[in-house]
């Protein structure tokens, strides 16, 4: 996917940026998840109803999905050949964008649960 000059190095740099961001964000998420007394609906909806937690959860999700897309793209470029390569990358990208939209919608809705 080197359609523009410099796009490969930008890809490389962005992947490192999301990697660095995911060290604290990933540890935050896992620690928060494992610290919950249970994963019942009331506890989980209460967790994401707190503004800071909802903010961190969306930051984590955005970094995770972005980093995931970058990694999946590299794997597809290495292992898929021919016309399937471009198609598989487009499908992977669409799935990741869809997931990001679904995540944003879900977190907004859970955060609003606190107000109502």
Partner 1 sequence: MYTMVLSILHRASGLVLSAAGFLYVGWLAAAAAGPGCYERAVRWLSSLPMRIALALALAAFWYHLFAGIRHLSWDAGLGFEKRTARRSGVVVVVLAAAAFAATIFLTPAGRFLAGMP
Nearer to partner 1, 80 or 107 (CB): 107
Cα–Cα distance list, 46 to 4, 37, 40, 51 (Å):
45, 12, 10, 10
Contact residues for partner 1, defined by CB under 8 A: 16, 19-20, 22-23, 26-27, 30, 33-39, 41, 44-45, 48, 57, 61, 64-65, 68, 71-72, 75, 95, 99, 102-103, 105-107, 109-110
Report, in Å, the least distance between residue 71 CB and partner 1.
5
Report, in Å, the least distance between residue 72 CB and partner 1.
6
Report, in Å, the least distance between residue 106 CB and partner 1.
4
Cα–Cα distance list, 15 to 6, 9, 20, 22, 41 (Å):
14, 10, 9, 10, 34
Nearer to partner 1, 1 or 19 (CB): 19
Query: 72, 7 in Cβ contact below 8 A?
Result: no
Query: 43, 53 in Cβ contact below 8 A?
Result: no
Report, in Å, the least distance between residue 5 CB and partner 1.
22
């Amino acid at each position: 996917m080197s359609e523009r000059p410099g796009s490969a190095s930008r890809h490389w740099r962005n992947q490192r940026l999301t990697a660095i961001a995911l060290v604290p964000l990933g540890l935050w998420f896992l620690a928060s998840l494992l610290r919950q007394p249970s994963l019942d609906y009331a506890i989980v909806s209460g967790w994401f109803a707190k503004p800071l937690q909802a903010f961190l959860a969306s930051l984590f999700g955005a970094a995770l999905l972005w980093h995931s897309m970058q990694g999946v793209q590299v794997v597809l470029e290495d292992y898929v050949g021919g016309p399937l390569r471009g198609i598989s990358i487009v499908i992977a990208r669409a799935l990741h964008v869809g997931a990001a939209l679904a995540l944003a919608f879900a977190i907004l809705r859970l955060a609003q649960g606190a107000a109502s």
